Amino acid sequence: MKGSRWIGVFLVVGLMGTSAAAQDKAVEEAETVEREAIIEETSVGEAIAETAAPGWTYPKAYASRPLTMNKFMIRATFAVDTKRANINRSTGAQEASPLVSIDLGAAFSIFDNLEVGVSNYRLGSSPANAGQGMFPIVVSPIGSFGDMPLYVRYSFMRKDYVEMAADFVLLVPSWTNLAATFGLPVRIRARGPVTVDTGTEFVILSNGAGLNIELPVKATYNITPAGFIFGDSGFSFQNVARNLTGGSYFDTSLAFPVARNQVFMPLGIGGGYTHVIKNIVMIDVFARFGWNPFAYLNPPTGVNAIPAADSWVLSVGAIIHTSPVIHDGDLN
């Protein structure tokens, strides 16, 4: 009997130990599943970054995102853009007050590699122009409605470390002049948290038959999956071969009204923070300060000469992404 009691005790202790071990293993497996749901394969082809949310295979890190959104995603943009170099349309001299606009935009991804929108923001392209958007509201120096850029972007090459796309932008004028942009943005992923954006943009200016050629360069570094900083520069050729006779230079696509064949270098720095709400909405809050131009290669003369000290630009805003799950009816 005594031996039976000891056997019973050992059986109880053994069962308790087995139950505890099973519970620990279940917890570890749950943690592993949760982690795999967050670090799952992203839309750029490999698990190089934290995704926006479990089941939402769009990178949370700004530097890891593809040039086009995932299928059925929507992006809304809100920005307050300030441009110090603001020219009076009557006198041609610089205004005492800067140009300030509240620019609202929107974009929609039809497929993983095809995106359309009405917005002055496109990932990997030149910095957004003030006074452009789906609802570009100019508030200074006078109240007005800006210009509307309608764009289509097609990503035709997406590799692990490089991606290329083709842009077409039609600027519908309600404030300045008609323009069309043909662009080839290139996104190079140097490392997981580091991206270099470059490419070429050709902007055809209708009034006076001119051309802008933009060669942007931007480096973005994600300090964490949520926090990022960036710096941008490049070369800008503006009013190339534009007809001076009868040509209006008050284009929102120009840094400011300059003489023909101007070449200069812009410079900007900024950063932001990404936050995901309820696994269905991702918001980037950002700020950028810079100079456009920062340095001339052939400075203009007369009233069109704007020193770098008076060419600063400032943008503060938010970029809002929605998960495709909203459009698949899974929330009903």
Q: pLDDT (tens digit, 9 = 90+) per residue, 195-204?
A: 999 999 999 9
pTM value?
0.81
Gap between the terminal Cα atoms of the chain? 64
Distance of CA 204 to the CA centre of its chain: 23
pLDDT in tens, 322-332: 998 555 555 45
pLDDT tens digits along 59-83: 999 999 999 999 999 999 999 999 9
293: which residues sit within 8 A by CB, 6+ positions away? 236, 255, 264, 265, 266, 306, 308, 311
List the one residue out of 238, 284, 278, 325 whose CA is nearest residue 60.
284
Give the model's pLDDT for residue 297: 84
pLDDT bracket for residue 208 (50, 70, 90): confident
Looking at every residue in the chain, the average pLDDT score rounds to 82
Contact criterion met (CB below 8 Å) for 132 and 171: yes
263 has which bridge partners? 237
Under 8 Å between Cβ of 131 and 148: no
